[in-house]
């Protein structure tokens, strides 16, 4: 992903209220976004906006096994 596209992706993620988390990562993907959307139509519209910046892959969470788990500090 080009640096210009990274900047545009960050700006778009910040501007969209549906995006509640955005993480720059190492690996096959460059960014992982967490969005809350009311319908598949909204998902499609959001994907179309991000597709202007490059390839988009979508995963849908079916259930959450662990969330907001606190890290245990060792004494």
Percent of the chain with pLDDT over 70: 99
Domain membership of residue 47 as a residue range = 3-51
The number of distinct structural domains making up the chain is 1
The reported pLDDT for the residue numbered 46 is: 95
Task: Using the predicted structure, report yes or no on whether residue 1 has a pLDDT greater than 70.
Answer: no
- With a cut of 60, say whether residue 56 has pLDDT above it: yes
43: domain CATH number is 3.30.70.920
Residue 57 lies in a domain: no
Q: Would 69 be classed as within a structural domain?
A: no
Predicted TM-score (pTM) of this structure: 0.80
Task: Express each pLDDT in 18-53 by its tens digit.
Answer: 999 999 998 777 899 999 999 999 999 999 999 998
Which pLDDT score is estimated for 28? Answer: 77
3-state SS string over 1-70? CCHHHHHHHHHHHHHCCCEEEEEECCCCCCEEEEECCCCHHHHHHHHHHHHCCCCCCCCCCCCCCCCCCC
């Amino acid at each position: 992903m080009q640096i210009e596209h990274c900047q545009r992706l960050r700006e778009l993620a910040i501007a969209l209220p549906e995006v509640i988390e955005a993480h720059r990562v190492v690996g096959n993907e460059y960014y992982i976004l967490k969005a809350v959307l009311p319908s598949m139509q909204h998902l499609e519209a959001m994907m179309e906006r991000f597709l202007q910046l490059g390839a988009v892959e979508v995963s849908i969470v079916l259930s959450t096994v662990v969330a907001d788990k606190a890290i245990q500090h060792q004494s």
